[in-house]
Amino acid sequence: MTKYFLQQTLSKRICVSGTGVHSGKQTHLILNPAPENHGIKFRRIDLPGTQDIQALFKRVVDTSLATVLGTNGAIVSTIEHLMACFAGLEIDNALVEVDDYEIPIMDGSAKVFTQLIQDAGIVKQSAPKHFLIVKKPIKVTDNDKSVIVYPEPCFKITCRIHFDHPMIGEQKITFDRAKNNFTKEISCARTFGFMQDIELLKKFSLGKGGSLDNAIILDKNKILNKEGLRYPDEFVRHKLLDSLGDFSLLGMPIRGHIVTNKSGHTLNHLFIEKFLENKDAWETGPEKFK
């Protein structure tokens, strides 16, 4: 009997609350198990009767400060950390109920979501998991920024960043699905920002929920968080976390090696658009156990 990689969902519903980093509002989430071939969907329970929002590239309506999905006037914002958690833990099917437009920032990473899901349990389903199998490279560039994917038997993602700041500089890291190191190496990496940018955001009534409890904050030459960093290269690990969330909006896991250089939400989504247009560069289908 042929054995395929199988789809997965949550074993039970999970309730969690937190603050939206931009809205400053307290938001409540319910993560629900979902049937096979359902995918990841978001439901605005504060807007009864609105259509569920699929976590797919075609539903992206903004990438300026966070990844925002929308359909028929309803939006859900700052989804990237939760989506990275689903991707990192290989969750294919879930329904996320939320009572406001912004997913809570928690501690600025995917740590809380990851722990809650692992504590609740993950269950295999009967249907095979489908993959996007890369057959030849695809690349998108914007000046010195780039995203490229190469054929690879398993999923890998390499991120490189460079910031002209003494605490960051150049950093590079690779996440290898075969090593199954998401929880330990990636999920706990926090978002970061610069003091001058945060002050500007607040002038525009954004970043209302941001604090040293949910972000690494830097001034011109140091980190303001008293506890310091969780990893020496936490900055690039968080960029990789964000990228996992962005690329999960392809709707299927990739069999390939994605390499990003100084990329962000906007370029990641331009890459997805080009990737999906180049239909001769990939194929879809289930995959057997070797």
| Structure tokens that stand for 47 in this block | 């807007």
Q: Is 81 annotated as a binding residue?
A: yes
Q: Is 242 annotated as a binding residue?
A: yes
| Structure tokens that stand for 132 in this block | 């996007």
CA distances from 250 to 23, 42, 55, 150, 241 (A): 27, 16, 9, 16, 16
Q: Is 269 annotated as a binding residue?
A: no
Distance, in Å, from the CA atom of 77 to the CA atom of 178, rounded to the nearest integer, reads 30
**192 closest CA partner among 213, 160, 215, 226:** 215
Task: Write out the catalytic residue numbers.
Answer: 265
Distance, in Å, from the CA atom of 175 to the CA atom of 185, rounded to the nearest integer, reads 8
109's CB contacts (< 8 A; 6+ apart) are 81, 187, 188, 189, 190, 191, 238, 241
Cα-atom radius of gyration of the chain, to the nearest Å? 18
CA distances from 256 to 151, 157, 279 (A): 5, 8, 15
Q: Which residue has the tokens 């509002």?
A: 25
Beta strands in the chain (DSSP E): 6-10, 14-19, 26-33, 40-44, 53-54, 60-62, 68-71, 74-77, 94-98, 122-128, 130-134, 138-142, 145-151, 156-163, 169-176, 192-194, 216-218, 254-261, 282-286
What residues are designated binding site for Zn(2+)?
A: 81, 238, 242
Binding-site annotation, residues: 81, 238, 242
